[in-house]
Amino acid sequence: MLSKLIRRKQSFPVVFIQQCMRSSVLNPSRTNDEVRFDSITTAYGYKSKYELYRGWAVFKLCSYTSLVNRLTQLLNVSRTILGQYVFESIMRSTLYGHFVAGTDKSELKPIVERLSQHGVRLILDYSMESDVATDHQVTTVQSNHNIYDENLLKSLKNVQTASELSGPAAITAIKFTAFISPDVLEKLNQVVEQNPSDQQSLFELASKSSLISKHELIETEHLIQRINRIVQEVKQHQGRVFIDAEQSYFQTAIHKLVLELQELYNRDRIIVYNTYQCYRKITLETIRNDLARAKAKGFSIGFKLVRGAYMDQERKRAVQLNTNDPIHPNFAATTQCYHQVFKEVLDNAKTHPNQFHVFVASHNEDTVKFALRTMDEMNVKRNDGLVAFATLFGMCDYLTFPLAAVGYDAYKLAPYGPIDRLLPYLTRRAQENRAIFAKAEKDRQLHYKALRERN
């Protein structure tokens, strides 16, 4: 059914381009033990003195839990009192300036060029998302449709921008909640969860479910068409796309549709990457099922491994609905899951090198070191093209740049766009990572030491 809703386009192989990019790094025979995560020059040499001070100040401010907890109210009050111009100036000097790559291509270009000089590439994310609790500003069916079509055009432009700035194999990221009503997506999620073993497509399941109205089925069809249009654009530009994970009450439906996309598009090479949240209790089982399905049906999977970014919402929702918490009880259990998942994927990637590829998208130094040790144990070299590393723009440069300096594939996932559009992202980034910020002593210290060296 999925293939009937889209138009196929000609694919262009980019394997040789990826190999050429990897061949330009330093000597791949050097051991993983040579990566130094305390090198100030390597991690922060690309930053100006002003950027270092701003980074130190932002991490310091975000370490205060009381401030982070009230961030949404503080931002709203500040904008009202100060006015838009002064508010935006302050944001550029603090949160937005540190965690966001810019507003448009003209601001992105110098950042892409500067990071590429250090072997680090950008994953561009024109931030767009919504949630069932925050989407009340949309009041009509037509306005819904118009917004999602506008988001489609912005996503297509994002793919084109990434290609222009980074060339072939450029990566972009999208969220499904930018292209369909979150209420409909939540219903689709319920339909899939009620039919966990059904091999029918998402659209077929929705068309037979009493939960989905005729109008909602049309919305589902439009979602599938929009997402396919984006993937086709990515394919045309010889790029790749991350489908970001979202809340658990959306994720089962998202996951099912991403697998359908991968089965359709990931034939000659990996175009579509799925995101796996390791704080979810079902992730390891999900990974194993997906690996088996890919091998049985002959398609490829790009894995992006994250811990998870919706912990507060998930726990509160489980309490409110009196349901089982879908995520692991603590950080240690999540870490154990992450490590198990990485070993499982890497073992399969080694035996099926052209079929699987994994991104370690982690800000945890111990997890990155675990990945490096596991690569050594499995005799996977940094230039084998099986593993890449990614951190968010503005976070953990001391991990990303040292990895890139010795030849690993290293990326920064960079949100960009107007300040107003990025405020929900910035608020969630601070709140969901309050524990990271509170304990980010190393990042703050290295920023401070780098500042002192500039004096």
In tens, the pLDDT along 310-354 reads 776 777 777 777 777 788 888 899 999 999 999 999 999 999 988
Q: Which residue has the higher pLDDT, 13 or 178?
A: 178
In the chain, % of residues over pLDDT 90: 61
Residue 138: how many CB atoms within 10 A of its CB?
16
Q: How far apart are CA 244 and CA 251, in angstroms?
A: 10
**307: closest CA among 361, 247, 352, 250?**
361
Does a structural domain hold residue 49? no
Quick one: average pLDDT of 359-381?
95
Do residues 188 and 202 lie in contact, with contact meaning Cβ atoms separated by under 8 Å?
yes
pLDDT band per the 50, 70, 90 thresholds, residue 11: very low
Does a structural domain hold residue 114? no
In the chain, % of residues over pLDDT 70: 86
pLDDT in the model for residue 433: 55
Distances, alpha carbon 275 to alpha carbons 121, 198, 233, 379, 409, in Å: 19, 22, 20, 25, 18
Do residues 380 and 386 lie in contact, with contact meaning Cβ atoms separated by under 8 Å?
yes
Does a structural domain hold residue 211? yes
Judged against a pLDDT cut of 80, whether residue 48 lies above it is answered with yes
Neighbour-count burial of 101, counting CB atoms closer than 10 A to its CB (0-12 exposed, 13-18 middle, 19+ buried)? buried
Does a structural domain hold residue 298? yes
Amino acid in position 338: Y
CATH code assigned at 239: 3.20.20.220
Does a structural domain hold residue 232? yes
pLDDT band per the 50, 70, 90 thresholds, residue 424: confident
Judged against a pLDDT cut of 50, whether residue 198 lies above it is answered with yes
- CA 422, 428, 430, 436 torsion: positive or negative? negative
In tens, the pLDDT along 400-414 reads 999 999 999 999 999
pLDDT in the model for residue 192: 94
Do residues 151 and 179 lie in contact, with contact meaning Cβ atoms separated by under 8 Å?
yes
Q: Dihedrals φ, ψ of 278, to 5°?
A: -80, -5
23-32, 308-317, 432-441, range with greatest mean pLDDT: 308-317
Judged against a pLDDT cut of 50, whether residue 282 lies above it is answered with yes
| CB neighbour list of residue 52: distance below 8 Å, 6 or more residues apart | 44, 447, 450, 451, 454
Domain that holds residue 135: 131-361
Residue corresponding to tokens 């889209």 = 6
In tens, the pLDDT along 81-117 reads 999 999 999 999 988 999 999 999 999 999 999 999 9
pLDDT band per the 50, 70, 90 thresholds, residue 31: very low
pLDDT band per the 50, 70, 90 thresholds, residue 449: confident
In tens, the pLDDT along 371-423 reads 999 999 999 999 899 999 999 999 899 999 999 999 999 999 999 998 888 88
Amino acid in position 66: S
Q: How far apart are CA 290 and CA 284, in angstroms?
A: 10
- List for the chain the helix, strand, coil content (%; round to 5): 60, 10, 30
Do residues 49 and 454 lie in contact, with contact meaning Cβ atoms separated by under 8 Å?
yes
pLDDT in the model for residue 65: 78
Does a structural domain hold residue 326? yes
Residue 79: how many CB atoms within 10 A of its CB?
18
CA atoms within 13 Å, Cβ hemisphere of 110: 6
pLDDT band per the 50, 70, 90 thresholds, residue 17: very low
Q: Virtual CA dihedral for 152, 154, 158, 159, nearest 10 degrees?
A: 30
Judged against a pLDDT cut of 50, whether residue 305 lies above it is answered with yes
Does a structural domain hold residue 144? yes
pLDDT in the model for residue 320: 74
Q: What's the domain count of the chain?
A: 1
**434: closest CA among 61, 56, 53?**
61
Does a structural domain hold residue 174? yes
Neighbour-count burial of 254, counting CB atoms closer than 10 A to its CB (0-12 exposed, 13-18 middle, 19+ buried)? buried
The pTM of this model reads 0.87
Length of the chain (residues) = 455
pLDDT in the model for residue 292: 96
In tens, the pLDDT along 126-171 reads 977 555 444 444 444 455 788 899 999 999 999 999 999 999 889 9
For the chain, give the mean pLDDT. 85
pLDDT in the model for residue 359: 97
